[in-house]
Structure 1
Amino acid sequence: MTTADGSHRAQGWTAAVRQRLGLGRLLPLGGPADGAWISERAAVGVLRRAVGGPGPVVLELRIAAADADAAPAPQVPPPPSALPAGPLRIEATVAATAHQPLPAAAAALRSALLTAAARRLGLTVDEVDVRVAELLDAEPERAEPPPVEVRPAEPEGAAGRAAAGVTGVAALTRVLGAPVHTGADHVRVELATDGSHRALDVALAVRAAVTDAVDGHPPVAVLVTAVTAEPEPRIPVPPAG
Structure 2
Amino acid sequence: MHHSGTHLPKGGTVVADRFAQAVREQLRLGRLLPLGGPEDGAWLTERAADAVLRRAADAVPGVRLGALRIALADPEAAAPPSVPAPPSALPPGPLRAWAECAATADLPLPVAADRLRDALLGAATDRLGLAVGAVDVRVTDVLDEVPQHVVPEDQAPPAERPGDGSGIAAAVTAVPGVARLAPVLGRGAVRVEGTHVRIELAVAPGHRALDVARAVRAAVAATAPPPATVAVLVTAVDTP
> Same fold per TM (> 0.5)?
yes
Look up the match of 2:211. Answer: 201
Q: 1:25 to 1:209 in 2, by over 3 A?
A: same
Find 1:163's aligned residue among 169, 172, 175.
172
Residues 1:32 and 2:42 aligned together: no
Matches within 5 A, 1:118-133: 118-133=125-140
Residues 1:48 and 2:48 aligned together: no
Look up the match of 2:202. Answer: 192
| Structure 1 spans left out of the alignment, 5+ residues | 232-241
Matches within 5 A, 1:89-168: 89-146=96-153, 148-155=155-162, 156=164, 157-168=166-177
Q: Deviations over 1:106-136 (max 9, x none)?
A: 1111111111111100111111011112221
Larger RCO of the pair (alpha carbons < 8 Å, separation 6+): 1
Q: Amino acid of the residue matched to residue 61 of structure 1?
A: L
Task: Write the distance in 2 (CA, Å) between the matches of 1:36 and 1:126.
Answer: 18
Deviation at 1:93, TM superposition (A): 1.1
How many percent identity over aligned positions?
Answer: 54
- Whether the 8 Å contact between 1:16 and 1:175 is mirrored in structure 2 is no
| Structure 2 spans left out of the alignment, 5+ residues | 1-8
Alignment TM-score, normalising by the size of structure 1: 0.87
Secondary structure of residue in 1 paired with 2:234: strand
Matches within 5 A, 1:71-82: 71-82=78-89
CA RMSD, aligned part only? Answer: 2.1
Look up the match of 2:5. Answer: none
Max radius of gyration: which structure?
A: 2
Task: Write the distance in 1 (CA, Å) between the matches of 2:180 and 2:25.
Answer: 17
Deviation at 1:73, TM superposition (A): 1.7
Residues 1:181 and 2:191 aligned together: yes
